[in-house]
Amino acid sequence: MLPTDLISALRTRRLLAIVRGSDPRTALSTVITLVEEGIDVVEVSLTCADALGVIERAREHLGPDAALGAGTVVTPRQAHLAAEAGAAFVVTPGVTDAVAEARDLGMPVLAGAVTPTEVASAVDEGATAVKLFPASLGGVSHLRALRDPFPEVPFVPVGGVDARTAREYLAAGATAVGVGGPLVGDAASGGSPAGFGRRIAEFRALAQEVAS
What is the domain-level CATH number for residue 190?
Answer: 3.20.20.70
Number of domains in the chain: 1
Q: Is 43 a catalytic residue?
A: yes
* DSSP track, the chain: --HHHHHHHHHHH-EEEEE--S-HHHHHHHHHHHHHTT--EEEEETTSTTHHHHHHHHHHHH-TTSEEEEES--SHHHHHHHHHHT-SEEE-SSS-HHHHHHHHTT--EEEEE-SHHHHHHHHHTT-SEEEETTGGGTHHHHHHHHHTT-TTS-EEEBSS--HHHHHHHHHTT-S-EEESHHHHTTGGGT--HHHHHHHHHHHHHHHHHHH-
| pLDDT (0 to 100) of residue 212 | 63
Is residue 131 flagged as an active site residue?
Answer: yes
Tens digit of each residue's pLDDT (9 = 90 or more) over 153-175: 999 999 999 999 999 999 999 99
Instruction: Provide the pLDDT for residue 190.
Output: 80
Choosing from 101, 118, 125, 131, the catalytic residue is 131
pLDDT interval class at 188 (50, 70, 90): confident
* Catalytic-role residue among 37, 43, 84, 152: 43
| Minimum mean pLDDT range among 25-34, 105-114, 190-199 | 190-199
The yes-or-no verdict on residue 180 having pLDDT over 90 is yes
Write out pLDDT tens, residues 78-130.
999 999 999 999 999 999 999 999 999 999 999 999 999 999 999 999 999 99
- The parent domain of residue 18 ranges over 3-211
